[in-house]
Structure 1
């Protein structure tokens, strides 16, 4: 199993080498690697994977939407002219977004419980963190290599 993971990341590195200029393409490749990594690490059966991925992808899209919405609201803030009442309204919106995030996560877990054993759901968070860590390490390694090679 470890050989598969190593092979997977070697493929990732080679994929990124061929198309550094297209962020969307790279994002899709990373997503494909993430799918493969999670599927392998959770040892998902075909049946489990068919039920799991729609739930996972829907949750990820909803999380992205919330993050984007929150980011957009913060970008529009003019701190020089922000009044106390506008600040109160923004805080209320932040609370509402956090409540929505918690509600979405609860629904996500309940939906996952219908298709995966509890142990795999718990393992999922660990596997996601490992994948992110590997991606950060690869990014740091690539960024370090690039900056050293620059004139």
Structure 2
């Protein structure tokens, strides 16, 4: 996976870790989830029938995606930031790369399965709008964090 695809993931992880400083991670996650629901509801203009099928599917996907990112990518980031990269052997680096690639592939396959499931309940146009809404939401979340940091 190229760096363009990894950067949003890293930004999301960073935003979650910074939010955790003042509130518990669970409270932050719930607050973000509420904001996301409101944002997606506006952006996707789902019918009642679509919404009834979409939200359970999306919430399951989002929870699995969060777990993968939080558990595995957090361990990768810790390893990259603990100063041990300067002392890492080529063999250890190769193992580390394979682990990172495996996690990225898991995320890709999770997204692919989610999209396949969405095709049964939403038109393709709304699925594309969802992808855009996710990017827009993450961008706004990051911007809010940046603005909050500037005010302090």
Q: TM-score, normalised by structure 1?
A: 0.71
Q: 1:139 to 1:58 in 2, by over 3 A?
A: same
Aligned residue runs from structure 1 range 21-100, under 5 A: 21-23=22-24, 24-68=26-70, 69-76=72-79, 78-100=84-106
Contact 2:61 2:114 in 1 (8 A): yes
Give the C-alpha shift of residue 88 in structure 1.
1.9
Q: 1:75 to 1:36 in 2, by over 3 A?
A: same
What is the rounded CA distance, in whole Å, between the counterparts of 2:101 and 2:30 in structure 1? Answer: 32
How far does residue 81 in structure 1 lie from its aligned partner after superposition?
A: 4.3
Aligned length: 127
Bigger-Rg structure (1/2):
1
Q: Which residue of 2 aligns with 1:3?
A: none
Q: CA deviation at 1:76?
A: 4.1
Residue pair 2:53, 2:121 contacting (<8 A) in 1 also: yes
CA contact (8 A) 2:76 2:100 kept: no
SS in 2 for 1:79: helix
1:6-26, Cα deviation, whole Å (9 max, x unpaired): xxxxxxxxxxxxxx9434434
Q: Distance in 2 between matches of 1:112 and 1:104?
A: 12
Closer/same/farther in 2, CA of residues 137 and 99 from structure 1, 3 Å limit? closer
Equivalent position to 2:145, from 133, 139, 145:
139
Q: CA RMSD in A?
A: 2.3
Name the TM-score, length of structure 2 as normaliser.
0.70
> Counterpart of 1:104?
110
Structure 1 gap ranges (5+): 1-19, 147-151
In the alignment, the residues of structure 1 paired with residue 30 and residue 142 of structure 2 have an alpha-carbon distance, to the nearest angstrom, of 17
Question: Structure 1's 143 and 70: CA in aligned 2 closer, same or farther, altered over 3 A?
Answer: closer
